[in-house]
Amino acid sequence: MSLFANEAPHGPPAARVAVPRAYANLVPKIVCHSAPDRFALLYRLLWRIQHGERQLLDNFADFDVARAIRYAKAVDKDVYRMQAYVRFAERTIDGTQVFTAWHEPQHRVLRLAAPFFVDRFSNMEWLIATPLGTAAWRGRVLSFGPPAARPAETGDAVLDELWTAYFRATFNPARLRVKAMVAQMPKRHWATMPETASISDMIKAAGSRVAKMGERAPESPPRFAERLAERMAAAPAQAPEPFSLDALREEMHSCKRCPLHGPATQAVPGEGAVGAEIMFVGEQPGDQEDLAGRPFMGPAGRVFNRALAEAGIERHKTYVTNAVKHFKFEPRGKRRVHMKPSGGEVTKCRFWLDREITIVKPKLVVALGATAVLGLTGRSVPVTKVRGRVTAAENLFILVTVHPSYLLRLPDKERVEAEYERFVADLRQAKAWCDAA
């Protein structure tokens, strides 16, 4: 029992305040932002919500809401960067093997990012030090400590060498895109990433390496591979997330996460550029897409292209992908008849869709039909219920509309025309929202 159990609490009892879920989801992120006005912003939003603006957070045109979302996104990005760019160096302290890392985040994201390292490295003792605080995992307990000073030396030579070897081994000079590389891996983090020391050499040598690759016969694996394999078996796996669409596409081609890869010709990755403002998500590739390896090429693709043009959207400036990356079909004679993917298949494939979104970072995602909604949100929602307005789900802005093949299935011409017009109107709205955002 506490010594002070009989004492009355000081001050008035705290009032309970009910807030919309969207607000509750934003708070833990915004408080981590480094902007000095973050608490004032949260308080202002709360005050407005409590004084009659219950739907305030649905109004993305509102200045406070837009700012709050921008802060939350910046924090998400910083969490992702910490998870992708922390490099541990091995040390022995008091006879115990520990892994330490130095990282300089832009925002106070250590507490948000730390659970990821607990999941991945739960059997190790590790410490992540930052100028804003430290996180330590001592096998069972995660604890947070005060800020640390930047160490003079950040790497242990052995691990540095292994990271550099890994980075060199995965660097493909034929796919060199310097701008995209720097955008994904900001120079701020290079000091603690040993592999980056090789970047300028590799860029300089890229041209001649591409030529040599063409001439060279297959060779046996390099000697470091054996040591790397040993080391990886002993230490926790720290496979970095693919940070480019090229790397993602390459990985997708060997996807065996569900049985659909068996009968399909190939995985059909999304198409478009990093930074595209609008991302369209369809259901799955059809017969022609499966053969061509590109999304929305067949009959549904032609309707889609026509509607895009009418809405004033240039397809090559968008990113077009599907919730499921392999074609699911039933053979009937010579034909391969489309089959709807199951909930389980859509869920397995969210792995790829999530990564595409992380890399492309669209302002708005347009879900074409119910399977796309399921892939994006994990929820089965009738399209008619949510169609045509921008909603926020997990820090993603989504506009739901019908799938173009729905228009191809309608029985009478009048309905086709009316529904087509509604589809174009939804696309126009997507464009207008992005232009204003």
Closest to ligand URA by CB, 194 or 298: 298
| Beta carbon nearer to ligand URA, 296 or 329 | 296
Q: Least distance in Å: CB of 295 to ligand URA?
A: 4
Smallest separation, CB 322 to ligand URA (Å):
5
Length of the chain: 437
Of residues 136 and 381, the one with the C-beta less far from ligand URA: 381
Of 196 and 322, CB closest to ligand URA: 322
Tokens of 60: 């993305």
For 280, the 3-state DSSP assignment is: strand
- Asked if 105 touches ligand URA (CB under 6 A), the answer is no
Distance (Å, rounded) from C-alpha 337 to C-alpha 342? 15
- Which residues does 126 contact at the CB level (< 8 Å), separation at least 6? 88, 98, 99, 100, 101, 117, 136, 137
Choice between 296 and 352, CB closer to ligand URA = 296
Residue 156: exposed, middle, or buried by beta-carbon count in 10 A (0-12, 13-18, 19+)? middle
Do the Cβ atoms of 168 and 200 come closer than 8 Å?
Answer: no
Compute the distance between CA of residue 155 and CA of residue 148 in angstroms, rounded to an integer. Answer: 16
Nearest to 171 by CA among 198, 208, 211: 198
Name the one range near ligand URA by CB under 6 A: 65-73, 80-88, 288-296, 373-381. Answer: 288-296
Q: Which range binds ligand URA by CB under 6 A, 31-39, 290-298, 380-388, 421-429?
A: 290-298
* Number of residues this chain uses to bind ligand URA (CB under 6 A): 13
Contact by Cβ (8 Å): 206, 173: yes
C-beta of 362 vs 375, nearer to ligand URA = 375
Which residue, 226 or 330, has its beta carbon nearer to ligand URA?
A: 330
Q: How far apart, in whole angstroms, are the C-alpha atoms of residue 94 and residue 297? A: 62
Which residue's CB comes closest to ligand URA? Answer: 282
Q: Which residue has the tokens 């549904």?
A: 300
Segment near ligand URA (CB under 6 A), from 143-151, 169-177, 238-246, 292-300?
Answer: 292-300
* Least CB distance to ligand URA at residue 296 (A): 4
Question: Could you say which of 164, 322, 401, 429 contacts ligand URA (CB under 6 A)?
Answer: 322
CB of residue 405 to ligand URA, shortest distance in Å: 6
**Of residues 353-412, which lie at the interface with ligand URA (CB under 6 A)?**
405
Residue closer to ligand URA (CB basis): 192 or 405: 405
Residue type at position 354: D
Is 289 an interacting residue with respect to ligand URA (CB under 6 A)?
Answer: yes
Q: Which stretch binds ligand URA (CB under 6 A): 124-132, 141-149, 289-297, 373-381?
A: 289-297
- Residues with Cβ within 8 Å of residue 270, at least 6 apart in sequence: 245, 279, 295, 319, 320, 321, 322, 356, 360
Copy the structure tokens of residue 87: 């490099």
32: phi then psi, degrees, rounded to nearest 5: -85, -10
User: Strands 125-130, 96-102: parallel, antiparallel or unpaired by DSSP?
Assistant: parallel
Tokens representing 249 are 């596409």
Nearer to ligand URA, 68 or 258 (CB): 258
Q: Please tell me whether residue 349 binds ligand URA under the rule CB under 6 A.
A: no
Q: Identify the residue among 165, 258, 300, 373 touching ligand URA (CB under 6 A).
A: 300
Contact 104, 189 (CB under 8 A): yes
Residues facing 365 on adjacent strands? 279, 398
Contact with ligand URA (CB under 6 A) among 163, 166, 296, 329: 296
Per-residue string for binding with ligand URA, 246-285, x by CB under 6 A?
A: ------------------------------------xxxx
Q: Is 286 in the site for ligand URA (CB under 6 A)?
A: yes
Q: Min. distance of Cβ 34 from ligand URA in angstroms?
A: 41
Residue closer to ligand URA by CB (options 322, 401) is 322
Pick one of 105, 295, 362, 375: the residue that binds ligand URA (CB under 6 A): 295
Q: Return phi, psi of residue 271, to 5°.
A: -135, 135
Q: Residue 96 in contact with residue 186, Cβ under 8 Å?
A: no
Rg of the chain taking only CA atoms, in angstroms = 25
- Alpha carbon distance 297, 45 (integer Å): 45
Binding site for ligand URA (CB under 6 A): 282-286, 289, 295-296, 298, 300-301, 322, 405
